[in-house]
C-alpha cells in the first residue's frame, strides 16, 4: 500500500485553499459559456477562441483537482503553545554575524509561503534549522550559499 503524505498547513492556509476553490467554482460557469460561444463560431480546427476557451476551462478544472487534493491530504497544525518553534508560530531570530540584524517570520506550510509577508516554510533552510527549538537556542542554517547560525530571540502564537 502506498504511503500517504499529508500536507502540513496552518488553519489560515487551509482557509485560503477553500476560498480559492470557491472562487474557481464561481468562475466555472463563465468559462463554460465562453467555450460554448466559441464552439458556435463554426470550424473548430482553426478557431483560436475555441482553443483558448478550452485551454482555460481545462486549466481551471486542473487547478480545482489539485486544490481538492491539497485539502484531502491536509494536516492542519495549530500551535498549542509558544514554547518551541512549530508551524503557525511567529519567531524572531538574530543572525549571529550581525547582532543588530533581527528578522521575524511566521512558520507555515509549503503552499502558504509568502516572502513579502515574512511567511517561510517549515522545510526552508531556516525553517528546518529552527523547528522545535526554544528561545535562546542557536541553530545552524545550511543554505545553498553556505552555512550560518541564528539565535531564537522570541516565539509567539
Q: For residue 18, what pLDDT is reported?
A: 96
Q: For residue 2, what pLDDT is reported?
A: 62
DSSP 81-118: -SSB--TT-EEEEEETT-TT-EEEEEEE-GGG-BGGGT
The 10s digit of each residue's pLDDT in 3-60 is: 667 889 999 999 999 999 999 999 999 999 988 888 887 766 677 888 888 999 999 9
Q: For residue 14, what pLDDT is reported?
A: 94
Determine the 3-state secondary structure of 102 from DSSP.
strand
User: Longest C-alpha distance within the chain, in Å?
Assistant: 70
Domain positions in the chain: 7-76, 90-156
Cα separation, 38 vs 60, whole angstroms:
17
Full-model pTM? 0.78
Question: What CATH fold (topology level) applies to the domain 90-156?
Answer: Chitinase A; domain 3 (3.10.50)
The 10s digit of each residue's pLDDT in 96-146 is: 877 778 899 999 998 888 888 999 999 999 999 999 999 999 999 998 888
User: Is it true that domain 7-76 has CATH number 1.10.287.180?
Assistant: yes
C-alpha cell at 12: 489560515
Q: For residue 64, what pLDDT is reported?
A: 96
The 10s digit of each residue's pLDDT in 2-16 is: 666 788 999 999 999
Indicate the average pLDDT of the chain.
Answer: 89
Amino acid at each position: 500500500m502506498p504511503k500517504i503524505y499529508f500536507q502540513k498547513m496552518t488553519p489560515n492556509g487551509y482557509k485560503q485553499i477553500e476560498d480559492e476553490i470557491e472562487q474557481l467554482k464561481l468562475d466555472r460557469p463563465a468559462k463554460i459559456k465562453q467555450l460554448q460561444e466559441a464552439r458556435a463560431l463554426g470550424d473548430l480546427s482553426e478557431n483560436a477562441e475555441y482553443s483558448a476557451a478550452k485551454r482555460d476551462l481545462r486549466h481551471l478544472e486542473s487547478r480545482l483537482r489539485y486544490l481538492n487534493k491539497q485539502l484531502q491530504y491536509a494536516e492542519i497544525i495549530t500551535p498549542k503553545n509558544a514554547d518551541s518553534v512549530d508551524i503557525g508560530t511567529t519567531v524572531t531570530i538574530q543572525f549571529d554575524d550581525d547582532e543588530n540584524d533581527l528578522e521575524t517570520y511566521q512558520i507555515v506550510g509549503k503552499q502558504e509561503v509568502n516572502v513579502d509577508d515574512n511567511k517561510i516554510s517549515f522545510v526552508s533552510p531556516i525553517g528546518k534549522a529552527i523547528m522545535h527549538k526554544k528561545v535562546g537556542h542557536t541553530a545552524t542554517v545550511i543554505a545553498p550559499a553556505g552555512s550560518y547560525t541564528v539565535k531564537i530571540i522570541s516565539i509567539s502564537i
